Amino acid sequence: MLIKLFYSICYTLWILTSKCFTSCKIRPKIYEKYLSEVMDHISKQVGWDFMQHLEVKYDSSTEISFNIKDVICKGSSITLPKKFDAIIHTLNYLYAEVIKTFIDHIHTITNRCQEYYDCNQGDNLLRCTFLLQSVIENSKMMFEQLYKVMDYFSNIDFKLLAKWKKTFSVPIVDEIYTFVEYATLKSQQNTLIYIDLNDPNTKKEAHEIILGVKSFVEGKGQEIYQNIKKKNNSVVHNRNPKCFLEENLQHYKTQQNKNIDLSHYLSEWLKIYYNEISTHLYENLGFEQVLELNEESITPPIHLYENISQKQGIKLINEITKGSGWKSLKNINIVYNDQVISVDRIHRHPADKLNYHCKKQHILRLVKCIYTEILFKYCNYVIFVLDFCETKNVNIYGVIYTDLVRQIFDTVHKTTTMFDIMYKTLVSLNKRIGEYFHDNGNSNLKSLCSSITILLEEINSGNYSLDILDSKNYISKKEIMIYCARTYVQNFAEFLKYNKMKNRSLKKTIEKQCPLRNLVLNIDIPESINTNNFSSVCNELVEFSKKFIKVYYEELGLNKLN
């Protein structure tokens, strides 16, 4: 039986390796050519002329720094990945300064509004609050443009350019998106509440708005800026940076004879500033031609796959991510090229030509993360139950022991549907969107699928048949039943523990790639187990497998694959 099982497993793994798993045909040279065109286009833009005061330490091993324009120019000897690194560091720095300018001015306007509230100046309070709401709302387009740039850089796969690359520049994608979300929220809130100046509720609402804005800029906004500042130490400012707020406040003092309110003055200045940032740090850096995907755009490469066209792959991903279950995964993060990527980011935008290559890897990595976690939790749960059967609390020569063993193996057989679906889903994902050959071998689909296959082979091997344990003629077969029950428990427990140890590298790698794995659906080992609650403990595993199919298969839209 063992020899037959061994050959069966070997054959299955051969099928997995040769037929089910195909490497995606990504052509690094084509990808490099595209990114070279992008770099050449960007480097020629006039926007970089405004950054002569910025220098980049593109090599962390030395203190030598270079002007950003000299780093990225066509004649530079610096490699393409390091050029992109330099751009990401520079834009992280500049966009962080945009955040700081925004926070400084919004905070000052907020304080001015608070003064009007404290002095009970109703007219001024409402005008100031309206300006406050509007100037935040007006920042939306600017932040959206900055976000599009950061999102684009986050979807560049530098491993296709340089296999040796160990560390990656991390664009401030989610940090910028926080401000996009906040400006969007303000545009939704900015209703005309200012009707009756004598209505105390109007003043109350205005004050709540002021406090809310103050809380954001002093809390989350300031925290984001400080975190970016700590991490971004590759950019050198070779002269004293401007503090726009101080300059504006000084200039405002000289304009007092014009009788302009400070909040109005600063809000008007911010409107001009937003336009300047859109011009200098988006349009004049050439990102419209890279990101807009129109006739004038630089055409991104089409990644070729054996089983599906890129167009079909994009359509499939967008169909999958429409599933209702994606919102429930917000507590899960994956790590990809040093970026900690939330499910929210994966789900935030539809797949397109620019993000398809990375988005499909994010989805694949996420599913591997969930399914690996489920596999290990399942095995731990079953091991715990099997170990209980061998404790002194259970008389191995009594009727109860055989019945307990029958229950747990009946449960194990009922849960195989969950692993069948897991396996089929992973194979289908690979066929449709391709395995990523730069991933660690311990985390790839073959490793995970072979673990699932070996488990299914063991369960379905015939070594754990329920026929003997279900025998009606108990008296004549008592000794056989007890022997079989003990053999089942010992062999299956040993099998699960061995495979758990063998798959430690898989688990460690998945833990690195998926550091936050707070699954909505969980199967925790019960605090206590006894002969009275044994049935419910087994039933819990059956119910869990049914919920898995619903939550991590159907509600994620993965049933569209099979």
pLDDT tens for each residue of 473-518: 555 567 778 888 889 999 999 999 999 888 888 888 888 888 866 7
Query: pLDDT for 173-192, tens place per residue?
Result: 999 999 999 999 888 876 55
In order of 122, 318, 555, the CA distances from 356 in angstroms are 52, 10, 22
Which residue has 């050439």 as its token pair? 286
Classify residue 487: in a domain, yes or no: yes
Q: What pLDDT band is residue 415 in, cutting at 50, 70 and 90?
A: very high
Burial of 539 (0-12, 13-18, 19+ CB in 10 A): middle
Q: What pLDDT band is residue 468 in, cutting at 50, 70 and 90?
A: confident
Classify residue 31: in a domain, yes or no: no
Domain count, the chain: 2
Q: What pLDDT band is residue 198 in, cutting at 50, 70 and 90?
A: low
Domain boundary among 279, 313, 345: 279
SS3 sequence of 225-285: HHHHHHHCCCEEECCCCCCHHHHHHHHHHHCHHHCCCHHHHHHHHHHHHHHHHHHHCCHHH
Question: SS3 helix, strand, coil % of the chain, rounded to 5?
Answer: 65, 5, 30
∠ CA(371), CA(363), CA(224), 5° rounding? 110
- Strands in 66-67's sheet, in edge-to-edge order, are 66-67, 54-56, 235-237
Residue 414 to residue 331: CA distance in whole angstroms:
29
**Residue-level pLDDT at 41:** 94
Q: Is the pLDDT of residue 404 over 70?
A: yes
Q: Does residue 233 sit in the same domain as residue 95?
A: yes
Q: Does residue 443 sit in the same domain as residue 533?
A: yes
Q: Does residue 253 sit in the same domain as residue 378?
A: no
Q: Does residue 264 sit in the same domain as residue 339?
A: no
Closest CA to 285 of 99, 140, 69: 69
Residues facing residue 304 across a β-bridge: 25
- Strands in 516-517's sheet, in edge-to-edge order, are 339-342, 332-336, 516-517
In order of 52, 55, 70, 247, 279, the CA distances from 238 in angstroms are 9, 7, 15, 20, 23
Query: pLDDT for 297-355, tens place per residue?
Result: 788 888 776 677 888 889 999 999 998 899 888 888 999 888 999 999 999 999 999 99
User: What are the backbone angles phi and psi of residue 104, rounded to the nearest 5°?
Assistant: -55, -50
Q: Does residue 341 sit in the same domain as residue 247?
A: no
Domain boundary among 247, 279, 311: 279
**Residue-level pLDDT at 516:** 67
Closest CA to 371 of 519, 187, 255, 246: 519
Q: Does residue 122 sit in the same domain as residue 248?
A: yes
Per the structure, the complete domain to which residue 410 belongs is given by 323-561
Q: Does residue 256 sit in the same domain as residue 338?
A: no
Q: Does residue 275 sit in the same domain as residue 352?
A: no
Closest CA to 458 of 405, 485, 496, 490: 496
Residue 562 to residue 23: CA distance in whole angstroms:
20
Classify residue 295: in a domain, yes or no: no
Classify residue 549: in a domain, yes or no: yes
Q: pTM value?
A: 0.88
**Residue-level pLDDT at 558:** 93
Q: Does residue 336 sit in the same domain as residue 262?
A: no
Q: Does residue 459 sit in the same domain as residue 555?
A: yes
**Residue-level pLDDT at 58:** 65
Classify residue 231: in a domain, yes or no: yes
Q: How many CB atoms lie within 10 A of CB 444?
A: 20
The token duo for 80 is 């393409």
Widest distance between CA atoms in the chain: 110
H or E element in which residue 332 lies: strand 332-336
Classify residue 5: in a domain, yes or no: no
Classify residue 424: in a domain, yes or no: yes
Q: Does residue 263 sit in the same domain as residue 372?
A: no
Classify residue 79: in a domain, yes or no: no
- Count Cβ neighbours within 10 Å for each residue of 144-157 and write b for 16 or more, e otherwise: bbbbbbbbbbbbbb
The residue count of the chain comes to 562
Residues facing residue 237 across a β-bridge: 54
Q: Is the pLDDT of residue 12 over 50?
A: no
The token duo for 530 is 């006894």
Q: Does residue 155 sit in the same domain as residue 265?
A: yes
Residue 454 to residue 5: CA distance in whole angstroms:
10
* pLDDT averaged over every residue in the chain: 85
Q: What pLDDT band is residue 221 in, cutting at 50, 70 and 90?
A: very high
